[in-house]
Amino acid sequence: MKITDVTVQTFRYTSSEGRDAEGHGHPADPHDATQTIMTVTADNGAQGHVFGANPQHVAALVKPHLVGEDPFYREKIWHQLYTYQRGNTGVLTDHLLGLVDMALWDLAGQHFKTPIHKLLGATRDKVPAYGSTMCGDELPNGLSTPEEYGRFAEWLVKRGYKAIKLHTWMPPIKWAPDARMDVRACAAVREAVGPDIELMIDCYHHYSRSEAYYIGKELEKLDYKWIEEPMDEYSVSSYVWLAEQLEIPVIGPEYHAGKMQSRAEWIVRGACDITRGGVTDNGGISPLMKIVHLAEAFNMAMEVHGGGPGNLHVLCAMSIPGQYYERGLLHPFIDWEKPKPWLKTIDDPMDEDGFVHISQKPGLGQDIDFDYIKANLVK
Ligand code: MG
């Protein structure tokens, strides 16, 4: 089997989310937006699809490495792209590497008529989810006060979530960051949901050591499950220091580049109590499974960063402790149960007990609305 083509098509849709000056998502008035679908095609007609790749970067950097290769030689292709990243890091990102790897896994799943988690070696078909909130905002009845976080958390528990993670206020909110306000939001949520719901925080990522220490100590009193990225992750020494000071588990890294190698360094140096990785942070399903096995070898819990079908398939092939699915980002104004315009059904349906059930369709298992995409193509 040989790859014959790699294409990226751009299509229009109406979005109700916007990004602030620092890149955080928030609810927004409906506006025109575009999305892309990358398709890898093999000579027997098998295809793999994934959303969100940059058309120019795929044409210039990815396609020449893929056409003519056997699509099942994922490791060979991945390592070619990985070594080619040196000198092209600004455009051949780990994110793009991740999309290519997922498209190849999707193609394999389509060919063998099998969902990816079963190709990997499955452990389960459903995963407990945590409701992961958007960052705080200044929208009345949104996430603008500790009390609003508390009210939203109550609603999330009624919906079925057994765990919740707060993203608190970050710039460009004019008064943020504020470590004391973060703790107040965490206290309001604990009071709203009671002692039996697991709670986590992901706060401003550039606090000082003393601010991170203060938040960690306060969250120990509130029985929080982990503290995530309260300082710049490139200072590994700061995380070694924080993990030594705190009882509450420190989770990471998320943003620190370096794929499985940086995770190995964090574990060996004692910079985290729970390790972390995600398909678009670390270059795809293939390297994320290496991080899973690295964690397993060190008896360390691991949590997967971000939602989506690629992460869900990895979660359903993990056999180490931890393993929540990050569902969201959620906000009182956004209906998460409604599919994106280019999907017929959502990727992460959740039952009333808070479990997300994985698709049993082949490959990534997405329910793609190809008619919608065709009707809205940007020519
Ligand atoms: Mg995070």
Structural domains of the chain in order of their starting residue, each with its CATH number:
3-113+371-375 (3.30.390.10), 118-357 (3.20.20.120)
- The 8-class DSSP code of residue 339 comes to P
Do the Cβ atoms of 103 and 37 come closer than 8 Å? no
- Residues 348, 366: Cα–Cα separation, whole Å: 10
Predicted confidence band of residue 322 (pLDDT cuts 50, 70, 90) = low
Q: What distance in angstroms lies between residue 256's CA and the mean position of ligand 1's atoms?
A: 11
Average pLDDT over residues 99-109: 98
Q: What distance in angstroms lies between residue 167's CA and the mean position of ligand 1's atoms?
A: 8
- Backbone φ and ψ of 64, nearest 5°: -60, -25
91 half-sphere exposure, CB direction, 13 A CA radius: 12
- Nearest CA to 267 out of 240, 234, 233 is that of 240
Q: Which residue has the tokens 């795929």?
A: 58
Task: Please tell me the predicted confidence (pLDDT) of residue 323.
Answer: 84
Predicted confidence band of residue 202 (pLDDT cuts 50, 70, 90) = very high
pTM (predicted TM-score):
0.97
Q: What distance in angstroms lies between residue 185's CA and the mean position of ligand 1's atoms?
A: 17
Q: What distance in angstroms lies between residue 302's CA and the mean position of ligand 1's atoms?
A: 13
Average pLDDT over residues 80-85: 96
Residue type, 287: P
Do the Cβ atoms of 127 and 163 come closer than 8 Å? no
Q: What distance in angstroms lies between residue 205's CA and the mean position of ligand 1's atoms?
A: 9
Q: What distance in angstroms lies between residue 199's CA and the mean position of ligand 1's atoms?
A: 14
Q: What distance in angstroms lies between residue 53's CA and the mean position of ligand 1's atoms?
A: 22
Q: What distance in angstroms lies between residue 150's CA and the mean position of ligand 1's atoms?
A: 20
Average pLDDT over residues 369-374: 98
What is the average pLDDT value for the chain, to the nearest integer? 97
Task: Please tell me the predicted confidence (pLDDT) of residue 100.
Answer: 98
Q: 4-13, pLDDT tens digit by residue? A: 999 999 999 9
- Residues 260, 97: Cα–Cα separation, whole Å: 14
Average pLDDT over residues 87-104: 95
Instruction: Provide the percentage of residues in the chain whose pLDDT is more than 70.
Output: 99
Chain mean position to CA 122 = 20
The secondary structure element, H or E, covering residue 211 is helix 209-221
Predicted confidence band of residue 89 (pLDDT cuts 50, 70, 90) = confident
Number of CB atoms found within 10 A of residue 220's CB: 13
Predicted confidence band of residue 216 (pLDDT cuts 50, 70, 90) = very high
